[in-house]
Amino acid sequence: MFVYLCLTNFSRMQDCKLIQLPKIVDNRGNLSFIESNKHIPFDIKRVYWIYDVPGGEFRGSHAFKEQNEFIIALSGSFDVHIDDGKQKTVFSLNRSYYGLYIPAGYWRQIENFSTNSLALVLSSTNFSEKDYIRNYEEFLKTKQA
C-alpha cells in the first residue's frame, strides 16, 4: 500500500504524519474527501498541484515559516523527503485516499515522480514568497535558536 521509512525516533519528526482519508467504496468508482479541521488540522487557504514532472526531476527543496500543508498523490507516486534540521525521513505516497501532513518548519523535497503522477498540495496559507526558506544553511540556522 505504501512505504513509510522512519529513519529516526526524533520526536519533532513525529509531527509529520500520514493521514488516512475517508474512502467511499462504490462499484461505480471510489470517492474520498477532505474537510478543513476535521481530516487535516488546518483551514485550507490554497490548493495547488504539481504535474507533468519530467523523469528525474524534483520539486521543493525549501521550508515554510508558517505554511502547514497536506500532500496527496492523486495519481501515480512520488517520495517526500523531510528534514527537521537534525533528522531525515522519507514518505512514499502512492494512493489518493491518504496524504502526508507537514507542519511549518521542515525542509522538504519531492522526488521520484512516476509517469503521469499528480501531487495535490493543500496549504494553510495564501501564496507568499516571504514564507519560503530556500537556502538550506539559513534553514539550519532557524533550527539552532
The catalytically annotated residue of 62, 65, 88, 95 is 62
What is the side-by-side strand order in the sheet with 88-93? 4-5, 88-93, 78-83, 107-111, 59-64, 132-133
| Smaller CB separation from ligand TYD, 14 or 128 | 128
Query: Can 62 be counted among the known catalytic residues?
Result: yes
Select the span of 5-13, 32-40, 45-53, 72-80 touching ligand TYD (CB under 6 A). Answer: 45-53
Q: Is 48 in the site for ligand TYD (CB under 6 A)?
A: yes
Residues between 120 and 139 that touch ligand TYD (CB under 6 A): 127
Q: How far apart are CA 81 and CA 7, in angstroms?
A: 11
Residues 6+ apart with CB under 8 A from 138: none
Q: Minimum Å distance from CB 59 to ligand TYD? A: 4
